């Protein structure tokens, strides 16, 4: 874990949709090198929080800082080029393009082009990303042929192709069978430890992961943040969170996290 300043700072973030407060005065820090799980019942505000961090949504109040710089109202493309990439529940590939072309588009981002000298071609970098998530054998097939689970893996490949310092994953194991889940979990752990896509840094990307499959999530993360009704109700190590009475009442005991 980093001993320096936080990589990500979220200060008093609030987001309302009409009369609904989706995120209510949420604050936390994420240090470089951490893998943070973000859990909570459906409708707790988890995806909204990631969308605020990535610039897809604008908060009503509060600040988001990345590496000490205010990115609260930065454009999504600018946030990606600063080093934050994410995947979300609804996948939106270019369905008529080959799978490898979908990833090559991500490789054309200014950040990836600037930092990708270690690969010979954009195509090679895209293929590396597909190999990392386990679908390189489908590289030349149209994205429309992919199953729901493989679309999840394509989204992760596109995200890591931008060479992020922080990776935000929204339910990466959704739609995957146990074998696929285990393989992807191993890839995520390898990525974080400075695997193939971490070689430009001393370590792999810092991560925030939303996931309902808690058993799989707890084996990956070293810290867990819990939201309920848009409020942060717990923040601690996995072994502390699973014993937290408020967390159990909110979701774990009900089986809805």
Domain containing residue 210: 8-252
Q: What is the pLDDT of residues 83-107, one digit of tens each?
A: 999 998 777 888 889 999 999 988 8
Whether 3 maps to a domain, the answer reads no
Q: What is the pLDDT of residues 18-56, one digit of tens each?
A: 999 999 999 999 999 999 999 999 899 999 999 999 999
pLDDT at 125 over 90: no
Average pLDDT, the chain: 88
Whether 186 maps to a domain, the answer reads yes
Whether 1 maps to a domain, the answer reads no
Count Cβ atoms below 10 Å from residue 241 Cβ, excluding itself.
23
Whether 214 maps to a domain, the answer reads yes
CATH code for the domain of 30: 3.40.50.300
Distance CA 138, CA 251 (A): 38
Nearest to 86 by CA among 210, 215, 219: 210
Q: Under a CB-based contact definition with an 8 Å cutoff, are residues 2 and 32 in contact? A: yes
Please say whether the dihedral angle defined by the alpha carbons of residues 248, 250, 255 and 257, taken in this order, is positive or negative: negative
pLDDT at 129 over 50: yes
Distances 54 to 105, 110, 247 between C-alpha atoms, Å: 19, 17, 26
Whether 47 maps to a domain, the answer reads yes
Least confident of 56-60, 88-92, 121-125: 88-92
The helix-helix angle for 122-133 and 99-107 (nearest 10°) equals 120
Contacts of 154 (CB under 8 A, 6+ apart): 91, 93, 99, 102, 103, 130, 133, 135, 143, 146
Helices (H), the chain: 46-53, 76-82, 99-107, 110-115, 122-133, 148-160, 178-192, 214-218, 238-241, 245-247
Under DSSP, is residue 231 helix (H, G, I), strand (E, B) or coil? Answer: strand
Distance CA 257, CA 251 (A): 5
pLDDT value of position 26: 98
CA atoms within 13 A of residue 57's CA, in its CB half-sphere: 20
What is the Cα 94 distance to its own chain's centre?
20
When divided into structural domains, the chain yields a total of 1
Q: What's the whole-number mean pLDDT along residues 3-23?
A: 93
Whether 80 maps to a domain, the answer reads yes
Q: What's the whole-number mean pLDDT along residues 96-122?
A: 80
pLDDT value of position 7: 97
Of 118 and 246, the one with more pLDDT? 246
Q: Under a CB-based contact definition with an 8 Å cutoff, are residues 154 and 145 in contact? A: no
pLDDT value of position 175: 79
Q: What is the pLDDT of residues 150-206, one digit of tens each?
A: 888 899 999 998 889 999 999 998 878 888 888 888 888 888 876 555 444 457 899
Whether 156 maps to a domain, the answer reads yes
pLDDT value of position 197: 53
Q: Kindly give the pairing relationship between strand 20-30 and strand 8-17.
A: antiparallel
Whether 87 maps to a domain, the answer reads yes
């Amino acid at each position: 874990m980093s001993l320096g300043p936080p990589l990500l700072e979220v200060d008093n973030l609030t987001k309302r949709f009409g009369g609904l407060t989706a995120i209510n005065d949420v604050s936390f820090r994420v240090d470089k090198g951490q893998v943070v799980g973000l859990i909570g019942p459906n409708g707790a505000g988890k995806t909204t929080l990631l969308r605020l961090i990535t610039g897809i949504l604008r908060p009503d109040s509060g600040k988001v800082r990345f590496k000490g710089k205010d990115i609260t109202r930065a454009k999504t493309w600018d946030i990606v080029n600063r080093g934050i990439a994410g995947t979300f529940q609804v996948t939106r590939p270019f369905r008529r393009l080959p799978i490898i072309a979908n990833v090559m588009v991500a490789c054309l981002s200014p950040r990836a082009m600037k930092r990708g000298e270690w690969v010979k071609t954009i195509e090679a970098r895209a293929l590396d990303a597909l190999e990392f998530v386990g679908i390189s054998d489908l590289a030349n097939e149209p994205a429309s042929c992919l199953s729901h689970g493989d679309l999840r893996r394509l989204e992760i490949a596109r995200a890591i192709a931008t060479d992020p310092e922080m990776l935000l994953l929204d339910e990466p194991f959704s739609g995957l069978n146990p074998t696929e889940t285990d393989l992807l979990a191993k890839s995520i752990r390898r990525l974080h430890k400075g695997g193939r896509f971490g070689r430009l840094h001393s370590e792999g990307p810092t991560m925030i992961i939303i996931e309902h499959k808690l058993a799989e999530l707890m084996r990956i993360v070293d810290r867990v943040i819990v939201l309920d009704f848009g409020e942060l109700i717990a923040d601690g190590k996995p072994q502390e969170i699973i014993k937290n009475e408020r967390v159990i009442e909110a979701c774990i005991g009900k089986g809805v996290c």
